């Protein structure tokens, strides 16, 4: 298993490129990151849904429903997404 240490700037674009490559192989990809700022940066770079504690509850719920309902997609999340979530058809987790 390879670990990628990501902060901001070039690292964010590097990780976004890596995730795009992984997303072509997986129909549904869940990406966990340690910080809200990284989640927001990656969500913007990937144009995908983001889930973390600073997003209001309605938007978090919408991101969760959208990600779990569709057969494809990428969701960037902090550990806030772990609590009480079960989605059976996730192909990859980074």
Q: pLDDT tens, position by position, for the chain (94 residues)? A: 455 555 556 778 888 888 888 888 777 888 888 899 999 999 999 988 899 999 999 988 888 888 888 766 888 998 877 666 667 767 677 6
pLDDT at 9: 63
Domain at 61, CATH number: 3.40.50.300
| Bridge partners, residue 29, by sequence | 74, 92
Tokens describing residue 52: 């973390």
Residue 58 in any domain: the answer is yes
Residue 81 in any domain: the answer is yes
CA distance 72 to 87: 13
Domain encompassing residue 56: 10-93
11 contact partners, CB below 8 Å, separation of at least 6: 5
Residue 14 in any domain: the answer is yes
Residue 55 in any domain: the answer is yes
Residue 1 in any domain: the answer is no
Q: What is the pTM of this model?
A: 0.76
Number of continuous H segments (helices) and E segments (strands) in the chain = 3, 4
What is the count of structural domains for the chain? 1
């Amino acid at each position: 298993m390879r670990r990628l240490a990501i902060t901001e700037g070039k690292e964010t674009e590097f990780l976004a490129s890596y995730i795009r490559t992984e997303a072509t192989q997986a129909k549904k990809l869940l990406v966990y990151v340690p910080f809200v700022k990284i989640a927001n940066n990656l969500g913007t770079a990937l144009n995908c849904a983001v889930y973390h504690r600073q997003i209001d509850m309605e938007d978090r719920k919408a991101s969760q429903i959208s990600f779990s309902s569709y057969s494809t997609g990428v969701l960037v999340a902090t550990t806030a997404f772990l609590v009480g979530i079960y989605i059976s058809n996730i192909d990859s987790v980074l």
